[in-house]
Amino acid sequence: MSTRATTARHVRQRKLNTKQGLRIIRESEIEDQQDESQQHIPQVETGVEKGEEIEYHLQAVINASNAAALGAKQTQQNYIPTPEVKQARHVNYDELYPRVFKEPSTNIKFSSTVEDCNPVAYCLREEDVEFLHKLNEGRDVDGRERKGADKLSQCSEDACEEVMNFFEETSSRLQPFANLDNAPILTLEEMEQSIQDDQPLSAEAQKWLRPIYDYWLIRKAGRPLMASIKVRVLDTANEADDADPYVCFRRREVRQTRKTRGRDAQVTEKLKKLRMELEDGRQLLLSINQREKLKGQQGQLDRKKFRERHQLKKVKAEKQIVGEKGDDEELLVDQKPVTKPGKRQSEANRPATIRLRSLGDRAASVANAQDNDLPLLEDYVTEGAAFVSNTIEARKEQHRKWNQHWVDETKLPITPPLEAEDPMSKWAAWPPLLDGLYPTPPPSLPSRSSVEGEDVDMKDAPDIKPQLDTTSGAEYEPEIFAIPGAWPETEDDEPKPDKFPAVRLRVGRGGRRWLETRKRKPKGQLCRGVVSDDDSDDGQTPGFFSVPEGITFELRAAFNNRPTGRPEGTGSEQRQRQWGGDQQAGAAAQGHPQVQQQGAAGSAS
């Protein structure tokens, strides 16, 4: 590579940002195929030791893979040769490893150690087996006849191993450094004395201690009989075996924390704290114990009390003693003591401070909770909210009821019929005091909210009395209007003054006044092809009804109480009602049953 090319490349290439997303493309998408940098693999750290990196086989494989990465066709599979592995001959695998393993259905959990699984570590060697044969033939180690040997008793291999293992373990336990300091080999008596309680020898093994000991003594030569690895268990300061490759698994030094006075104090504090906490826990348990005992006593007392009362009742029944009413009940059932409200009050009045609950306090509150449940703020809040919404709903309902049969007619002008001569003679004057005097619907429930707020103020309509003779009562009388045909009449033509007023004056917010008429209930049969709105709650939509064109005039005439009834351009209902309001008009209408009928039919639908 020329220097120029090198520098050129260095200038050109930006540093690679490992956080930045890199585009993934195919080889064919690369544009500058000629770039020299693409043509060799950069030297990458392999992680193999330098000395081994140059090894022939590894290099062969690496070079082959590099070549492949650069697009060369792989010619042959390279691999690193390893020493051979053969199937073992003369191995009866099934005998060595019996087919007894059952796979559990769940994952294995296992914590036993190798030693647990194989408590007798010693395994007989060929020499041992030979010795065992001799032993079982009744001979001693040295081949002489054993005294008092029972020819029939045979030492099993297991027993022999157990004994040998016992000797090995005991000697290594009592003389761990025997191979270093040439300690005298333990005598059999010493061995027998040191049999540990937790690892007793089986009875069979004990029988064979002596003959096997003699053999063991011969075999033993200051080192363990079982081949063992060199593990340095003692004396980390001794470095003599540092270079010995056979010594392995050294213990590592513990990183000791330095002892300082400060640390000691810390530790003392910790211990003190721990002790205190334990003491607290103990006290708590004691108190609980006591409490439960007291509870038990109380239960017994209650039981006794009940029994006594029961007895008493029986006696009373026998002796026919009649006590006061409820007396007996009291006898059998404990009356709950009435909680004094004063206490609660005082509790509520307590300043809101954070109290650390002491043990006794908690116990007290626990006790309280059994008598009366603690009222929760939550409950109060929901109760209040429910009350408010109920009230609102109720008032809405009431409002709807007021307006149910009323139609607002205020918008349209109320003009009295033209009366040349004496309009006032026919008209009652508006009372000067409209408030309170005009018929208004009954007020809502005497709720505080309507008193306080700028709510609609409505007043009860006075009862309608048939006061036909009060026409002259200029000031007050015309309050009651009766509009003929404004509501269905009864079958008989006998005029029945309705108890409902036909018109009302409503005082709305801000002193606005509304003039409302009753909705007319249509009587289906007489209506021709007209469908009216039902009496919707909406006061804004006037009840629609039609008055047959033919009778309008007569009707108006009747309302106006003017037989000559002047022709009117537009039949205003207000006017009709206005007129209808007139007592005399009503009377006149009664005088014209037909008209009345028609009017009623018109209003009904």
Partner 1 sequence: MAPRNDGVDGGEEPERGHATLATLRIGTKAMVEKDGEKRKAEILSIQSRKGRPTFYVHYQEFNKRLDEWVSADRLDLSQEVEWPLPEKPEPKSKQKQAQSKAQQVSKTDSKANKAPKRARSTTVTREPSEAPGDVSAKASRRPSQQGGKENRDPTVTIATEDIGGTPLAGEDDSTIDLVDMQEAAIAAKAAPEHAPYSREEEIEKLRTGGSMTQNQTEISRVRNLERIQMGGYEIEPWYFSPYPAEFTDVDLVYICEMCLGYFGSATQFRRHRHKCQLFHPPGNEIYRDANVSFFEIDGRRQRTWCRNLCLLSKLFLDHKTLYYDVDPFLFYCMTVRSAHGHHLVGYFSKEKESAEGYNVACILTLPQHQRKGYGKLLIQFSYELSKIEGKLGSPEKPLSDLGLLGYRAYWQEVIVDILAEREADGAPTLSIEDLGQSLAMTTNDVLHTLQNLNMLRYNNKNHVVVLTDAVLEQRERLKEKEKIKGKRFLEGSLLRDWKPPVFAASARTWNW
Q: Which of 230, 307, 465, 499 binds partner 1 (CB under 8 A)?
A: 230
Q: Which of 4, 34, 56, 325 binds partner 1 (CB under 8 A)?
A: 56
Q: Which of 46, 156, 268, 584 binds partner 1 (CB under 8 A)?
A: 46
Put residue 70 in one of left, alpha, beta given phi > 0 → left and psi -120 to 50 → alpha. Answer: alpha
When asked if residue 51 is in the footprint of partner 1 (CB under 8 A), the reply is yes
When asked if residue 242 is in the footprint of partner 1 (CB under 8 A), the reply is yes
Q: Which is nearer to partner 1, 23 or 151 (CB)?
A: 23
CB 174 within 8 A of CB 186: yes
Closest to 596 in 3D by CA, of 504, 470, 494? 494
Name the one range near partner 1 by CB under 8 A: 94-102, 144-152, 414-422, 436-444: 94-102
| Distance of alpha carbon 504 from alpha carbon 517, whole angstroms | 6
Question: According to CB under 8 A, which residues from 317 to 346 bind partner 1?
Answer: none
Name the one range near partner 1 by CB under 8 A: 37-45, 180-188, 210-218, 312-320: 37-45
Taking the complex as a whole, the smallest distance from the CB of residue 360 to partner 1 amounts, in Å, to 39
When asked if residue 50 is in the footprint of partner 1 (CB under 8 A), the reply is yes
Name the one range near partner 1 by CB under 8 A: 123-131, 269-277, 343-351, 426-434: 123-131
Q: Which of 2, 76, 96, 335 binds partner 1 (CB under 8 A)?
A: 96
Question: According to CB under 8 A, which residues from 574 to 593 bind partner 1?
Answer: none
When asked if residue 13 is in the footprint of partner 1 (CB under 8 A), the reply is yes
CB 400 within 8 A of CB 556: no
CB 295 within 8 A of CB 310: no
Name the one range near partner 1 by CB under 8 A: 76-84, 378-386, 389-397, 419-427: 76-84
Q: Which is nearer to partner 1, 55 or 568 (CB)?
A: 55
Q: Which of 52, 371, 463, 492 binds partner 1 (CB under 8 A)?
A: 52
Q: Can you read off the two tokens belonging to residue 495? A: 């005029």
When asked if residue 64 is in the footprint of partner 1 (CB under 8 A), the reply is no
| Distance of alpha carbon 573 from alpha carbon 413, whole angstroms | 10
Q: Which is nearer to partner 1, 249 or 422 (CB)?
A: 249
When asked if residue 221 is in the footprint of partner 1 (CB under 8 A), the reply is no
Angle at 504 (CA atoms; ends 502, 506), nearest 5 degrees: 160
Give the strand pairing for 503-507 and 513-518.
antiparallel
| Distance of alpha carbon 13 from alpha carbon 2, whole angstroms | 17
Q: Which of 114, 203, 377, 429 binds partner 1 (CB under 8 A)?
A: 114
Taking the complex as a whole, the smallest distance from the CB of residue 262 to partner 1 amounts, in Å, to 20
Q: Which of 11, 152, 221, 243 binds partner 1 (CB under 8 A)?
A: 243
Q: Which is nearer to partner 1, 59 or 345 (CB)?
A: 59
SS3 state of residue 506 = strand
| Distance of alpha carbon 103 from alpha carbon 106, whole angstroms | 8
Question: According to CB under 8 A, which residues from 526 to 585 bind partner 1?
Answer: none
313 burial class (0-12, 13-18, 19+ CB within 10 angstroms)? middle
When asked if residue 150 is in the footprint of partner 1 (CB under 8 A), the reply is no
Name the phi and psi angles at 33, rounded to 5: -65, -20
Q: Which of 4, 126, 354, 569 binds partner 1 (CB under 8 A)?
A: 126
Q: Which is nearer to partner 1, 13 or 300 (CB)?
A: 13
Name the one range near partner 1 by CB under 8 A: 227-235, 337-345, 470-478, 489-497: 227-235
When asked if residue 110 is in the footprint of partner 1 (CB under 8 A), the reply is yes
Q: Which is nearer to partner 1, 157 or 397 (CB)?
A: 157
When asked if residue 179 is in the footprint of partner 1 (CB under 8 A), the reply is no
| Distance of alpha carbon 222 from alpha carbon 375, whole angstroms | 85
Q: Can you read off the two tokens belonging to residue 313? A: 């009742």
Token pair 């009496």: residue: 535
Q: Which of 2, 81, 354, 569 binds partner 1 (CB under 8 A)?
A: 81
Q: Can you read off the two tokens belonging to residue 585? A: 């008009």
Q: Which of 228, 311, 365, 536 binds partner 1 (CB under 8 A)?
A: 228
Question: According to CB under 8 A, which residues from 247 to 306 bind partner 1?
Answer: 247-255
Closest to 136 in 3D by CA, of 120, 162, 159? 159
Q: Which is nearer to partner 1, 83 or 360 (CB)?
A: 83
Name the one range near partner 1 by CB under 8 A: 42-50, 178-186, 384-392, 436-444: 42-50
When asked if residue 10 is in the footprint of partner 1 (CB under 8 A), the reply is no
**Bridge partners, 248 (sequence order):** 231
- Give the chain's largest Cα–Cα span: 171
| Distance of alpha carbon 246 from alpha carbon 592, whole angstroms | 138
Other Cβ atoms less than 10 A from the Cβ of 102: the count is 5
Q: Which is nearer to partner 1, 36 or 264 (CB)?
A: 36
Q: Which of 117, 338, 352, 356 binds partner 1 (CB under 8 A)?
A: 117
| Distance of alpha carbon 138 from alpha carbon 153, whole angstroms | 9
Q: Which is nearer to partner 1, 132 or 407 (CB)?
A: 132
| Distance of alpha carbon 334 from alpha carbon 300, whole angstroms | 15
Q: Which is nearer to partner 1, 93 or 387 (CB)?
A: 93
When asked if residue 26 is in the footprint of partner 1 (CB under 8 A), the reply is yes
CB 460 within 8 A of CB 480: no
CB 382 within 8 A of CB 388: no
When asked if residue 227 is in the footprint of partner 1 (CB under 8 A), the reply is yes
Q: Which of 135, 161, 542, 556 binds partner 1 (CB under 8 A)?
A: 161
119 burial class (0-12, 13-18, 19+ CB within 10 angstroms)? exposed
Question: According to CB under 8 A, which residues from 411 to 470 bind partner 1?
Answer: none
Token pair 């309050």: residue: 479
SS3 state of residue 504 = strand
Q: Which of 198, 246, 452, 549 binds partner 1 (CB under 8 A)?
A: 246
Angle at 134 (CA atoms; ends 133, 135), nearest 5 degrees: 90
| Distance of alpha carbon 263 from alpha carbon 278, whole angstroms | 22
When asked if residue 32 is in the footprint of partner 1 (CB under 8 A), the reply is yes
Q: Which of 44, 152, 356, 376 binds partner 1 (CB under 8 A)?
A: 44
Q: Can you read off the two tokens belonging to residue 531? A: 């469908």
Closest to 127 in 3D by CA, of 272, 225, 22? 225
Taking the complex as a whole, the smallest distance from the CB of residue 59 to partner 1 amounts, in Å, to 8
